[in-house]
Amino acid sequence: MATQCSRFSVILALVVLLIPPTLEAQALYDDSVVEAVIDVLEWLDGDDYTLMPEFGQWGLVFGWFSEGEQKDIDFTVTAGERYMIVGGGDNNVDDIDICIYDETGREVDCDTAIDNFPLVSFIAHSGGTWSASLIAYSLNSSTAYAGMALLHEY
């Protein structure tokens, strides 16, 4: 599994490099983008979790953030199973957090540490469609690149 994830990490990093940045973000489009992607994907090299494909996606959310901006993804959980949501940001991110909400919208857990690599691990108390939010609380520039991966314990 680690070999497949490593290959996937390299392919995704190459795809990210080929996507042209917007004019506003062009000045920030450098090695830090690849670093943000690799920081998140390094979590996939473990033996306990697998990436959750959701709604035709690969269980990944990456993008450009302004300070205070939030990106969300919905995902399906099974009651009693363990999940982990991991994030990472480029060198323009001072603080990003991940919060998890159950099918009723109730906050289940949040990583609120002041850092650029949030992590939330939880056992689903009920099944259904939950959501994860990646929030850019503090940046040291006007925009930054960050993302998160949805992982399921197998």
Higher-confidence residue of 149 and 133: namely 133
Residue 110 sits at the vertex; the CA angle it makes with 10 and 12, to the nearest 5 degrees, is: 10
Higher-confidence residue of 55 and 132: namely 132
- The whole-number pLDDT of residue 61 equals 81
Residue-wise pLDDT for 41-81, tens only, equals 676 666 676 666 654 456 778 888 999 999 998 888 999 99
The contacts of residue 24 (CB under 8 Å, 6+ apart) are 142, 143
21: pLDDT strictly greater than 60 = no
18: pLDDT strictly greater than 60 = no
Higher-confidence residue of 50 and 118: namely 118
**How far, in Å, CA of 108 to CA of 9, rounded?**
29
Taking the alpha carbons at both ends of the chain, their separation in whole angstroms is: 12
Cβ neighbour number for residue 28 with a 10 Å cutoff: 19
Higher-confidence residue of 13 and 151: namely 151
- The whole-number pLDDT of residue 95 equals 95
- Name which of 129, 142, 141, 93 is nearest 150 in CA terms: 129
Amino acid making up residue 29: Y
Across 1-10, 21-30, 111-120, least confident range: 1-10
Mean residue pLDDT across the chain:
77
pTM given for the model: 0.72
**How far, in Å, CA of 116 to CA of 134, rounded?**
11
> CA neighbours within 13 Å on the CB side: how many for 89?
29
